[in-house]
């Protein structure tokens, strides 16, 4: 996802309908009123924030995977030599947590 596309002023608005519980709607309306913005604007901002956070989490997980992939060495850890040994290693770890 490109943030610039998400926040583009050239993008047309579309009307949509969502369903909220009464309590959630009241909480959101109160917060929007407190900030001096419309309910729609508050919900749009919340959606953008959620999308950006999810994208950042995805990128962080990809960076973590890259770091792990480069650090795993079958020579240093004999359990990483094949699938059977990996499964055994995982079982051993899980039994330690119980």
Average pLDDT taken over every residue of the chain = 86
Q: Quick one: tokens of 82?
A: 């094949």
pLDDT one-digit tens code per residue, 46-86: 998 998 898 888 888 888 887 777 777 777 778 888 889 88
Query: Which DSSP string do the residues of 49-92 spell out, in sequence order?
Result: HHHHHHHHHHHHHHHHHHHHHHH--TTT-GGGSSHHHHHHHHHH
- Give residue limits of the domains in the chain: 3-73
pLDDT one-digit tens code per residue, 15-37: 889 999 999 999 999 999 999 99
Q: Quick one: tokens of 60?
A: 């962080």
Question: What is the value of pTM for the model shown?
Answer: 0.56
């Amino acid at each position: 996802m490109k943030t610039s596309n998400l926040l583009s002023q050239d993008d047309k608005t579309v009307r949509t309908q969502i369903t909220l519980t009464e309590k959630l709607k009241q909480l959101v309306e109160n917060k929007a009123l407190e900030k001096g913005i419309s309910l729609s604007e508050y919900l749009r901002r919340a959606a953008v924030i959620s999308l950006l956070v999810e994208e950042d989490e995805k990128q962080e997980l990809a960076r973590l995977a890259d770091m792990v992939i480069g650090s795993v060495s079958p020579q240093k850890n004999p359990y990483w030599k094949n699938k059977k040994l990996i499964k055994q290693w995982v079982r051993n770890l899980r039994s330690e947590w119980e």
